Amino acid sequence: MSGEAWDPIERDRRYASCKRAGLARLISEGDSWFDYPPHPNIIDFLDGEGFWAIKRFEKSGDTLENIASAANLSRLAGTAQKEKPQAILLSAGGNDLFTDIPEKPNLRWIWRALTPFDPAKTAAEHVDRLPWDEKKTELRQGFIRVIAALGNYAPILIHGYDYLTASGEMALYDGFRAAGPWILPSMRDRGINDPDMQTAILGVLIDEVNEVLGALENTYPESVIYVDLRGSLLPARDWMNEIHPTEDGFHKIEEIFRDALLHRLPEVQRRRPTR
């Protein structure tokens, strides 16, 4: 029977059993889209497919900055060298938009990417280009560090999330620990109160993050498989809170990952030179 699903040690025990059953190996690393405490996430559903043994490193709340640190990449590379995975799954970058900022202790980094509301401006013009371009550069560099450290071992699947929602919904962990909201307070602080404008601005941000990731796939086609999740989730139904899908939403996303692993990964593996 299953143990405690949240427990990384239980996940290791599960990985060992799946390896003994001869399943293809994967490594996963990332944030709450791979390790969401309140309900099953992408990796939990992939694990339930019965195709893969997944060595899991993800941690809810983790940032790309931390994932791409030298110490963590060394740990991941050591594991990849030993376990010889077919692919490495990476979910990262989202929390880098929601780190704490000293000038607004109650708000998150995304506040810096917004300009004060101006009814004459478009959604794109409400994005403060300098900090946002700097953030995108940081994200790109972080992903490149991961690709440089791990790309030789296996293709890396990356994604750029779906369009986040400024719903103001909080997350509830274990029935009593609340987190968030991550987006709406910053929007309101900037005077952006129109839900349509909020949605449009988030669309600009998510589109541009996905452009960065898509470009990485084009630059490193033998090492990167970019999974475009935009438009997969129904805004009114599939989001549990501002940045996390519902359980059904995660299942939808997982099906896209599953199809990428089953149908796109073999092609990339054929293209890779023997290493």
Partner 1 sequence: MTVSFGARLALALTWLAAGPLSAQKRVLVPDDSVGAMVGVASRLLWRDVTLTDALGLQSGVAFPVRFPRLPLQVELGGWTALAKRSSRGFTDQYSASAHYQWILVNRPHPNSIVFGYAEYWNPVIRPPNPRTRSNTRELTVSGLFDIGIPQQGIRTIHFQLDAARDVARENATWMRGGASASIGTTIQRMNGDYSLAAIFGAAVSASDFRGPRILGPRPGFGFHSADVELDLQIRARKSAFDATTTLRLAAAFRATRLGANVGWVALRQSLLLL
Using CB under 8 A, list all residues that contact partner 1: 1-10, 12-18, 20-23, 37-40, 44-45, 47-51, 59, 71, 75, 171-177, 240, 246-247, 258, 262
**Smallest distance from partner 1 to CB 13, Å:** 6
- 115: tokens are 């300009």
Residue 41 vs residues 14, 110, 151, 168, 255: alpha-carbon distances, Å? 16, 24, 25, 21, 11
Report in angstroms how near the CB of residue 255 gets to partner 1 at its nearest.
9
CB of 16 to partner 1, least distance (A): 4
Backbone angles phi, psi at 38, to 5 degrees: -70, -25
Comparing CB distances to partner 1, the nearer of 2 and 218 is 2
Least Cβ distance, residue 51 to partner 1 (angstroms):
5
CA dist., res. 11 & res. 199, Å (int): 36
Q: Smaller CB distance to partner 1: residue 92 or 209? A: 92
Nearer to partner 1, 3 or 195 (CB): 3
Q: How far is the CB of 178 from partner 1 (least distance, A)?
A: 9
Summarize the chain as % helix, strand, coil (round to 5): 45, 15, 40
Q: C-alpha 214: how far from its chain's center?
A: 14
Q: Between residues 13 and 121, which has the closer beta carbon with respect to partner 1? A: 13
Name the residue nearer to partner 1 (CB basis): 53 or 184: 53
- End-to-end alpha carbon distance in the chain: 39
